[in-house]
Amino acid sequence: MTVAAEAIAHRSRRRPRLKRIAHASVPYLLILPVIVVITAILGYPLYKLVTLSFQQYGLAELIQKKGVWIGFDNFSSVLHDEVFWRVLLRTVIFTAANVGLTIGLGTLIAFLLVRVSTWVRILLTAGLVLVWSMPAVVAVQVWVWMTNFENGILNYVLTELHVGDYTGHDWYGSTFSKLGMVTLLIVWGAIPFVAITVYAGLAQVPRELVEAAEIDGAGPGRVFRDVTFPVLKPIFLILTSLSIIWDFGVFTQPYLLIGSSAVDTSNYLMGVYVFIEGYSHSDFGRGAAISLLMLLIVAVLSIFYVRRMVKMGEAQ
């Protein structure tokens, strides 16, 4: 009896410390696999990216698996290249236009969803989810078909609606028009995420507040500015920063819609530029330098979003 009691007492005295140590190590063991995978598959390439950017590394070097150290030559070559700066400026303008259109139109649709009857809301939401689910490569092919100059439906509809005679109009004639088509494609694909998220956010706006403000004589503009917007602000901030990050680095849509044979210095966006300069031209050292510059720009753009998510993770 006493022996057993002593043993129990002894155990209960000893166990907490052991348990504490074991307990403390559990989360580290749990995250270990992720750390290993990320370090092995991403960490090493990122390290490689930094070293490559200081090397002369072309096809010959790829085969020998050994580059020639050339210091900052790749970076100075890129930074002294007019093309880099033009691509950067073009990408910034492109990103601003795409993000502005996506957020603007998405928000309008979210507000529309509040105002329509239930059956229209269900229909419109289903349509949004359908559009959202379309794979990028598939959407590109549909765009190519709809906007081709010979028998694309876009030219037909515009001509029928008497917008002008668009028979045989080539939408891929000028850089502006090409990037306009890419914008149309990206905005179309990105609207659902914004619309559905903002709509979900609108549901959080307390009805009593809106009604109170309306009874007190506030117009729709005033209600939006003073009641709705403050509630939606964190959502807008997150959506905008995510959209900026995504659109700045976009690759699949511009590369495939403009066409791999038609992308050139006159219409490069950053993602395409990095890809062509580094991979297609097999100048991996210079490509690595451009990639690194691009990653740095996106890292700066991401700081806001990452900080926000970490803070929200804590708050939960």
- Amino acid occupying residue 226: D
78, 99, 139, 181: which one contacts other proteins (CB under 8 A)?
139
With CB under 8 A as the rule, give the number of residues binding other proteins. Answer: 113
Task: For the segment 64-123, give every residue that binds other proteins (CB under 8 A).
Answer: 65, 109, 112-113, 115-117, 120-121, 123
CA distances in angstroms from 111 to 203, 217, 227, listed in the order given: 11, 20, 14
Measured from the CB of residue 22, what is the shortest distance to other proteins in angstroms? 10
Q: Is 299 in the site for other proteins (CB under 8 A)?
A: yes
Q: Is 235 in the site for other proteins (CB under 8 A)?
A: yes
**Rounded CA separation 222/218 (Å):** 6
- Least separation in angstroms between residue 50's CB and other proteins is 9
Residue 10, both tokens:
């002894």
> In whole angstroms, how close is the CB of 188 to other proteins at the nearest point?
7
Residues within window 18-37 making contact with other proteins, judged by CB under 8 A? 24, 26-28, 30-31, 33-34, 37
131 near 189, Cβ under 8 Å?
Answer: yes
- Looking at beta carbons only, is 6 or 225 nearer to other proteins? 225
Interacting stretch for other proteins, rule CB under 8 A, among 78-86, 95-103, 174-182, 194-202? 194-202
| 38 near other proteins, rule: CB under 8 A | yes
Among 134, 169, 175, 240, binds other proteins (CB under 8 A): 134
Q: Does 262 bind other proteins (CB under 8 A)?
A: no
Could you tell me how many residues make up the chain?
316
In angstroms, what is the minimal distance from the CB of 277 to other proteins?
Answer: 9
Binding mask 150-169 for other proteins (x = CB under 8 A): xx-x--x-------------
Does 177 engage in binding with other proteins (CB under 8 A)? no
To other proteins, the closest distance from the beta carbon of 212 in angstroms equals: 6
For residue 303 the two structure tokens come to 């700081």
C-beta closer to other proteins: residue 1 or 63 = 63
135, 165, 264, 266: which one contacts other proteins (CB under 8 A)? 135
Site residues for other proteins, 195-224, by CB under 8 A, read 196-197, 200-201, 204, 209, 212-213, 215-218, 222
Applying CB under 8 A, which part among 2-10, 96-104, 175-183, 266-274 lies near other proteins? 266-274
Q: How far is CA 173 from CA 40, 83, 122, in A?
A: 45, 21, 39
